[in-house]
A and B are shown apart, each in its own frame.
Chain A
Amino acid sequence: MFDVNELVLKKAKELGFGDVVVLSHEMNRRQVRFANNEITVAKNWHERKVELFVELGKRIAGTTITELSEENIEQTLKTLLSNMRGMSPKEDYYGIAEGPFKYRDIPETFDKAIVELDEPNEYVERAINAALEEGAKRVAGVLYTDHDRIYLTTSNGVEAFDEGTGIEISVRAFIGDLESGHGTNSVRVLKKFDPESAGRKAGEIASLARNPEQGPEGKFDVIFDPLAFANLLSYMSFMTSAYAAEAGFSFLVNKLGQKVASEIVTIKDVGNMPNGYGTRKFDDEGVPTRETAIIENGTLKTFLLNTSLAKKYGAETTANAGLIMPHAWNIVLEPGDYSKEELFGEVKRGIYITNVWYTRFQNYVTGDFSTIPRDGIFLVENGELKPVRNIRVSDNLQHILESVEALTRESHHVHWWEVDTPVSTPYVLVKDVGITRATK
Chain B
Amino acid sequence: MMHRSEKAIPVLMILPSLAAIAIFVYGFISWTGYVSFTDWNTLVRSSHFVGFANYRFLFQDFRFQSDLRNTLAFTVLFIGLTMLCGLFLAKMVDSKIKGEAFFRNVFIFPMALSFIVTGVVWQWVLNPTTGVNLALKSLGISHPPKWYTSISIVPKLHLGAIDFGLPVAVIAVVLAAVWQMSGFAMAMYLAGLRSIPDDLREAARIDGAAEKQIFRKVILPQLKPISMSLIIILAHISLKIFDLIYAMTGPGAMFVTDVPGVYMFETTFRGNHYAQGSGIAMIMLLLVSLLIVPYLISSFRKERG
Chain B associates with chain A? no
Chain A residues with a Cβ under 8 A of chain B: none
Where the two chains meet, the residues of B that have a C-beta atom closer than 8 Å to any C-beta of A are none
